[in-house]
Amino acid sequence: MLKAYKYRLKPTKDQIILLEKHFGACRFVYNWALNLKIKTYEQTGKSISQFDINKQITILKKENEWLKEVNSQSLQGMTRNLESAFTRFFREKTGFPNFKSKKNPIQSFPVPQYYYADFKKGIVKLPKIGEVEAVLHRSFEGTLKTATVSRSATGGYYISILVDDEKEFPEKKEFSESTTVGIDVGIKDFAILSTGEKVENPKCLKNSLKRLKVLQKRVSRKQKGSKNRGKAKQRLAKLHEKIANQRNDFQHKLSKRLISENQALAVETLNVKGMIKNHHLAQAIGDSAWSSFVTKLEYKAEWYGKTLLRIGQFEPSSKVCNVCGFHNSELTLKDREWTCPDCKTKHDRDINAAINIKKFALIDQNLIGT
């Protein structure tokens, strides 16, 4: 089972210079390799392999002596990243790989081998850089895979270590109607459970929007290229990072609780890209980050042997009475409560949707009747 552990690095001034050289060299090799693949295809109609590109890195290093100051495996790791980008482009249609920009404050490079973390000393040893002080707040056991060193928009340095603990994913635990919970996500309430519980949306972006506008205005008023503009951008980046951290913290705690309390969870497949096109709700939907929450539920369910069930995005979960099955085709988005004309049951729109999500998911599993 593969798990990634991310730690904060505290490099010295000399180590920062070496890290920046790695960022620059790896970015240079990535752009060079991408340009090489494009030109090779234009001239021959065939793609050049990662193996052939790696062989040409030796020639490139003779032409650019400064590349020898950088870990050679990190340079080859960038060609592997490029190959993965092309694989995603052809298989998943994620978009053609872009050239990496020096102006992007977020930079990274891979470290495939020959590094280690010492939890007693609180250091991470990196090739060509040496022992870097790190905040190793949690330990791990297993085989070290590729690590990724990164620089955030706020100027912080991090290392993400991929570890194979050589354990198999636990077997899926049996679940029933009583041990399954349906989850409907929303804007006012972040998650509504089939049990009737409503989890309030923290609205991290909305709560910081006034301060965000002030900082953004300060950036736009500063002269381009000036030190004051750089300082203003740094303050803005720190606030963005704080918002992202608040959102992630909330989602991690909620997803862990739901996974721990239930054997199976049922969610609805949402077309978030399509929903964001509604300009009245786009900011609120983006602030909620539903896709990120479902992703956390997915991998945590794998870790703990739980089951995540999905229903189709066109299932009428909100418009169907969970008691008698009446379909209310006249229900609109502004109707938060409605009464079923057949059985006279008064419904809270969101709780009714959560109950129906659970029912539809269990019907698909043949655990309850239609």
Enzyme catalytic residues: 184, 268, 350
CA distance 251 to 243: 12
Q: Which two tokens stand for residue 303?
A: 């870790």
Structural element, H or E, at residue 216: helix 209-221
User: Quick check: 190 and 288 in contact, CB under 8 A?
Assistant: yes
Beta strands of 203-283 (E only): which ranges? 264-268
Cβ atoms of residues 237 and 105 within 8 Å: yes
Tokens of 160: 């993400």
On the CB side of 25, CA atoms within 13 Å amount to: 24
A 10 A CB-CB count for 355 gives 24
Q: 189-193 and 198-200: which strand pairing?
A: antiparallel
* Cβ-contact 281, 275 below 8 angstroms: yes
Q: Which amino acid is at 58?
A: T
In single-letter form, the type of residue at position 114 comes to: Y
